[in-house]
Amino acid sequence: MKDKTRLSDLSRPSGEQLLHLDPEDLQPLPMSRDDGSSGHAWAPLSQQVRDRYECDLDDTCALSLPRPKTPEQERELVGQFLAGLEKLFTRENNWTFLQPLLLTVEHCARCQTCSDACHVYESSGRAEIYRPTYRSEVFRRLYYKHVKGGGLLSAWQHGAIDLTWPMVARLAELAYRCNLCRRCAQTCPIGADNGLVTHEIRKLFSQEMGIAPKELHESGSMLQLKSGSSTGMNARAVRDNVQFIDEEMSEKTGLAVETPWDVEGADILLIHNAGEVLAWPENPGAFAVLLNAAGVSWTLSSELAAYDAVNYGVWYDDAQLARVALMHAQVAKKLKVGKIVMGECGHAHKALFVIADRILTGDLNIPRESCLTLLRDIVVGGRVKLDPSRNDFPVTLHDPCNMVRLMGIVEPQREILRRICPQFREMHPHGVDNYCCGGGSGFAIMSGHNFQDWRAQVSGRKKIEQILNAFAECLDPSRPKYVCAPCSNCKGQIRDALNYHDLWEKHRILYGGLVELIVNAMEDVTPGFIEWEWR
């Protein structure tokens, strides 16, 4: 694809779509159809949607931002954007990320080293608007012009930019074409972080203009603050569901399984992504089986928000991040537990352990530990008897960016897999150099309009390529294969992408968590915990 899109094109008038991706533009997938596309047709946005919402960036729409009806409305929105832009660079409003933001905005040399590290840019066939520096450069020029008050000299030095409503609307959408995996930042020779710029643009739109994807805000963090979970489950519903899971696990494993609730003074408060309870009940079920068998003192909590680890604010809004993190910590404090252990959820790990660490002051700074180290200790410590031959099928490991590149939890999950999975093989690259699953930064739960097409075809494409390569010598469907993804959102994205590209049907590639593999290998458990059927 010879993409001639320029920075100034972001200001093109409303109604002009900036990018259209043809299947032949996309990076071909190995061992798949010659044209690199899947059997699925990419559903185009309807004219009704295009008329109603700002969808002038590319072939999809993440925000469903209504089109302003009058020039006055446009001017008002541009004014709000400018106000938010200025606030991003003030201590009072953005002390949370002011220093790294200034460092990146003022020093990126636009050397484009980061471009080759970006899976979205590469998978799209190098579409210019997906280049990590594209949105950052627009943002940088706006900063110099409108925050630093630059005139002609500044425009000459830093580049000119015209601020219009179509540009603002496209920039809002463009902030949701990046997985925030920060692979780009990892390669930057200067240490600039264009992923951070995306994060800050999202914050501007949310915190000043109230603009965020519905799945992340209204149906996400706001629902969690209201009912306790972004799934909408209240405490009663989640307890009922977990009770049902316990019964099913008891029947399936042959062990009596009972999940403890609200146990004061327990060693561990375990917090799952509540999506697991609904979508993959075998995951919280496997935790219950394993922790009980290992004799761990643990509990779940039925307090508001404490039975759902998710913290979507980490992707778009500092206030929402802080609110949910505080709730998690307050519950742990109230229960007087020894520590919080986070279940298999990458962004929840990063939100509570890393990003929110310094706002959990005083006795709210409850010790927090990853489930991966707990699971490693159980497996390596021999606290349950394991039979690796039960996992004698090809297994590869997906590294969730939040746990690995952004937290440095790399080896515990590998120590486990090397012990219990005789046919474990790595993807390439892996560890801190991994590629995002394509569902990072909230995409895994965003499916409005045809966004699912975009994330299966573009943002998730690199991961599919890695999975196919990892299983290259055993793609025959007679051999079932397992992609281990110890993160709920990664699992959701991998499920959607495998399904989209028919890889269960064609190659019998299944996905699942880590704890399921451990329970599948437990000698005391009835064989066949992992069921080879699509879910």
Partner 1 sequence: MTVVLYLVIAAAVLAFVVASLERAVRYARAPLHLRWELYPVPHEKPARVAYGGSYFETSEWWKVPRHFSLIGELRFMVPEILFLKALRENNRPLWFRSFPFHFGLYLLTGSCGLILLTAGLSVLQGRPISGVVGTGLRETYTLGGVSGLVLALVGAAALLHRRLTAPDLRSYTTPGDILNLLFFLVAFGLLGVGYLLRPEGSAGVLTIVTGILRWDPTPQVAPVFAAGLVVTSVLTAYIPLTHMSHFVAKYFTYHSVRWDDAPLRDNRRIAAAFAEYLTYRPTWSAPHMKAGGATTWAEVAATNPKVGGEKRS
State which residue, 40 or 414, has the beta carbon closest to partner 1.
414
- Region of 394 on the Ramachandran plot (φ > 0 left; ψ -120 to 50 alpha; else beta): beta
Contact between 163 and partner 1 per CB under 8 A: no
| Nearest-angstrom CA–CA distance, 398 and 510 | 13
If one asks whether residue 233 binds partner 1 (CB under 8 A), the answer comes out as no
C-beta closer to partner 1: residue 15 or 367: 367
Quick one: which of 73, 112, 243, 526 contacts partner 1 (CB under 8 A)? 112
Contact 305, 530 (CB under 8 A): no
C-beta of 217 vs 462, nearer to partner 1:
217
Interaction between residue 48 and partner 1 (CB under 8 A): no
| CB 251, min distance to partner 1, A | 32
Of 281 and 442, the one with the shorter C-beta distance to partner 1 is 442
Task: Tell which residue, 243, 173, 125, 154, has the closest CA to residue 10.
Answer: 173
Q: Could you tell me which stretch among 27-35, 43-51, 223-231, 254-262 binds partner 1 (CB under 8 A)?
A: 223-231
Does residue number 147 form part of the binding site for partner 1 (CB under 8 A)? no
User: Which window, 45-53, 168-176, 347-355, 525-533, contacts partner 1 (CB under 8 A)?
Assistant: 347-355
Which residue number, 358 or 473, has a Cβ lying nearer to partner 1?
A: 358
The verdict on 43 binding partner 1 (CB under 8 A) reads: no
E strands, 29-169, are none
**Judged by CB, which is closer to partner 1: 484, or 503?**
484
Instruction: Considering only the stretches 156-164, 277-285, 481-489, 521-529, report the one whose residues sit in contact with partner 1 under the rule CB under 8 A.
Output: 156-164
Within 13 Å and on the Cβ side, how many CA atoms surround 394?
A: 22
Site for partner 1, residues 291 to 330, rule: CB under 8 A: 318-320, 322-323, 326-327, 330
- 327 vs 474, beta carbon nearer partner 1: 327
Specify the pairing of strand 298-299 against strand 268-271.
Answer: parallel
How far is residue 185's CA from residue 113's CA, in Å, rounded to a whole number? 10
Task: Tell me: does residue 25 bind partner 1 (CB under 8 A).
Answer: no
User: CA-to-CA distance for 461 and 436, rounded, in angstroms?
Assistant: 10
Q: How far is the CB of 404 from partner 1 (least distance, A)?
A: 7
Q: How many chain residues touch partner 1 (CB under 8 A)?
A: 95
The three state secondary structure string of 112-142 is CHHHHHCHHHHHCCCCHHHCHHHHHHHHHHH
Coil vs helix vs strand at 341? strand
Among 392, 411, 476, 531, binds partner 1 (CB under 8 A): 411
List of residues 6+ apart from 313 with CB closer than 8 A: 221, 319, 320, 321, 322, 323, 324, 351
Q: Which residues are within 8 A (CB) of 74 and not within 5 positions of it... i.e. 6 or more apart?
A: 68, 165
Nearer to partner 1, 95 or 244 (CB): 95
* 427 scored as a contact of partner 1 (CB under 8 A): no
Instruction: Tell which one of 104, 194, 259, 452 touches partner 1 (CB under 8 A).
Output: 104
H helices, E strands: number in the chain: 24, 8
Under the criterion CB under 8 A, does residue 418 sit at the interface with partner 1? no
Contact call for residue 164 and partner 1 (CB under 8 A): no
Q: Is 412 in the site for partner 1 (CB under 8 A)?
A: yes
Order of strands across the sheet with 298-299?
298-299, 268-271, 339-342, 368-370
3-class DSSP state of 188: coil
Does position 125 interact with partner 1 (CB under 8 A)? The reply is no
Q: Shortest approach of partner 1 to residue 14 CB, angstroms?
A: 23
Question: Among 31, 190, 256, 472, which residue sits at the site for partner 1 (rule: CB under 8 A)?
Answer: 190
The yes or no reply on residue 287 touching partner 1 (CB under 8 A) is no
Closest CA to 456 of 472, 444, 468: 444
With CB under 8 A as the contact rule, the residue among 14, 17, 164, 187 that binds partner 1 is 187
Tokens matching residue 56: 């002038």
* Binding residue for partner 1, selected from 53, 81, 353, 443, defined by CB under 8 A: 353
Taking residues 59 to 78 in sequence order and writing x for each that binds partner 1 by CB under 8 A, - otherwise, the string is --------------------
Q: Would you say 359 or 475 has its CB closer to partner 1?
A: 359
When binding is defined by CB under 8 A, the residue of 122, 193, 276, 453 that contacts partner 1 is 193
Angstrom distance (rounded) from CA 396 to CA 409: 17
108 or 446: whose CB is closer to partner 1?
A: 108
Q: Is the peptide bond before 429 cis (omega within 30 degrees of 0)?
A: yes
CB of residue 364 to partner 1, shortest distance in Å: 10
Site for partner 1 in 361-400 (CB under 8 A): 361, 365, 367, 369-370, 373-374, 376-377
Contact flag: residue 266 with partner 1 (CB under 8 A): no
Residue 221 or 452 with smaller CB distance to partner 1: 221
Give the span between the Cα atoms of 346 and 386, in whole angstroms: 26
Q: Please state, in angstroms and rounded to a whole number, the distance separating the CA atoms of residues 54 and 13.
A: 11
- Residue 215 binds to partner 1 (criterion: CB under 8 A): no
Does 236 contact partner 1 by CB under 8 A? no
CA distances from 358 to 20, 276, 351, 354, 366 (A): 43, 28, 11, 8, 12
Please select the residue that binds partner 1; options are 409, 417, 420, 446, rule is CB under 8 A. Answer: 409
Burial class (CB in 10 A: 0-12, 13-18, 19+), 286: buried
